[in-house]
Amino acid sequence: MAYIHGDCAPQFNEIHSILQDACNFGDEIGVSFALDVDGEMLVDLYGGYEDRQRTRPWNRDTTVPIWSCSKSVTSLAMLKLVDKGILDPSARVSTYWPEFAANGKEGIELRHIMSHTSGMSGIRQPITTQQAADGNLMATLLAGQAPLWPPTTASGYHTGTWRHLLGQVISRKTGMTLPGLVQTQILDALEVDYFHNSEFRNNKAEIVCDDYPARLPVGRYPLGPVAEMTLRNPIRNADAPMTASAYSNARSLATILSTISRGGLDANGTQFLRPETVDMIFQEHSRGEDLVLQKPLRWGLGYALTGGGGLPDDEWLPTGNRVCYWGGWGGSLVVMDCDRRVTLAFTMNKMDTSLPMANQTARRCVRAAYEVLSA
């Protein structure tokens, strides 16, 4: 029997029941869910187990790989440099990284990378998993190649190249790495559980994915040419390690990202971003079929945006003109709702790739939360 612990305002008890049932009926092994409303954490729930054998209870400080949810935190750190005037989203990438201008990339701007419209979602030549992890090699390959499609004409999720592209910009402009940027700009000021891959943690939950790599999205449907170069290069096999760029939990993600929902005000009550910088997130950069994920998406600066009912994710996400979100491989999710000053986060350790964004438990929790918030 799995148990869900933590704090939950009475009006959100349905979320507790959803998590409890998910862990007990096998949909999940361990989970955490958090809901922040204008700086007040109304839901901070966690429970189940850290391991496949269900012997180690999931506790308040348990962290788990959050996969691409880490991009949401990195984007916040990038926006801080924009807010300070250190970076300009409209500047050409070659301003910071001159070699990048080669092969027809001279017009690509920083905002095009942040909004996944740069045409640089993958590597043209075949690479190995070891090469994909080599930052210097990846920077050289990316600087030398031509875009996979005409920049700004469509989005194509930069699943593996994003950190290398932005990492080069940050390194050349500030001398920092992306993890170093997140640490100095965000984590040093907040009491949160957010750790980068190189850091050892005793309370990391075990990722459970019985048929990896078959659960990768590449095995579910035919791929177009851009998706092929992005998702099947390198080709991952059963021996390939499942590595993540960051570990965290729902409470910490909601604490960090509530800065967006609160118009730039961070968890300490400090004006982390000016409101006009937050506004940049919601300037639409693309809307339509994402060439990598092969589903309709709407991209702002660093985050996906809801589409007013016209996109698949709108079926379960909150309505509003200023709602941004993103998910991590396997089902994790963050939602930042500036209209209502609401932040939601969900993490888990049982991988489920049956849906392209957030798993069923996360979606049920979002719906339950907004039934209350909209009442």
SS3 content of the chain, % helix, strand, coil (to 5): 35, 20, 50
64 vs 66: CA distance, rounded Å: 6
Rounded CA separation 235/230 (Å): 10
CA distance 135 to 138: 5
The pLDDT-based confidence of 210 (bands split at 50, 70, 90) is low
pLDDT at 308 over 90: no
Q: Residue ranges of the alpha helices (H) in the chain?
A: 13-24, 69-83, 93-96, 110-114, 129-132, 135-144, 162-174, 178-185, 225-231, 250-261, 275-281, 360-373
The mean predicted confidence, pLDDT, of the chain is 93
Other residues' Cβ atoms within 10 Å of the Cβ of residue 270: 10
Provide the token pair at 290. 């994402």
Taken in order 266, 269, 272, 278, is the CA torsion positive or negative? positive
Round to whole Å and give the CA distance between 107 and 147.
Answer: 11
Other Cβ atoms less than 10 A from the Cβ of 30: the count is 26
Give the three-state DSSP class for 51: coil
pLDDT by residue (tens digit) across 168-208?
999 999 999 999 999 999 999 999 999 987 565 667 888 88
Cα–Cα distance for residue pair 368/374, rounded to 1 Å: 10
Q: Which of 344, 338, 366 is nearest to 260 (CA)?
A: 338
- Whether 270 and 189 have beta carbons less than 8 Å apart is answered as yes
Q: Please classify residue 91 by burial: count the beta carbons closer than 10 Å to its beta carbon, then call 0-12 exposed, 13-18 middle and 19+ buried.
A: middle
CA atoms within 13 Å, Cβ hemisphere of 361: 30
Which CATH number does 4-373 carry? 3.40.710.10
Contact by Cβ (8 Å): 248, 66: yes
Where in the chain are the domains?
Answer: 4-373
Can you read off the two tokens belonging to residue 269? 């009550």
pLDDT of residue 215: 46
pLDDT tens per residue across span 115-150: 999 999 999 999 998 999 999 999 999 999 999 999
Residues linked to residue 299 through DSSP beta bridges, in sequence order: 286, 304
* CA–CA gap between residue 363 and residue 313 (Å, rounded): 10
Tens digit of pLDDT for each residue in 26-41? Answer: 999 999 999 999 999 9
**Residues 319/309, Cβ–Cβ less than 8 Å:** yes
- Quote the crossing angle between the two packed helices 178-185 and 162-174, to the nearest 10°: 70
Mean pLDDT calculated for residue range 299-327 = 95
Residue with tokens 């994920």: 293
How much is the average pLDDT of 254-258? 99
Phi, psi for 278 (deg, rounded to 5)? -60, -40
Residue 285's pLDDT is what? 98
Calpha distance 111→46 (Å, rounded): 36
Q: Which one-letter DSSP state was computed for residue 90?
A: T
Range list of β-strands (E), the chain = 4-8, 30-37, 40-48, 64-65, 194-196, 246-248, 286-289, 296-299, 304-305, 323-327, 333-337, 342-348
**Per-residue pLDDT at 240:** 53
Q: In which band, very low, low, confident or very high, does the pLDDT at 354 lie, cut at 50, 70 and 90?
A: confident
Q: How many residues does the chain have?
A: 375
* Residue 207 confidence (pLDDT): 86
Evaluate if residue 366 carries a pLDDT over 90: yes
C-alpha to C-alpha distance for 243 and 138, rounded to whole angstroms: 17
**Could you tell me the pLDDT band of residue 85, with boundaries at 50, 70 and 90?**
very high
What is the model's pLDDT at position 76?
99
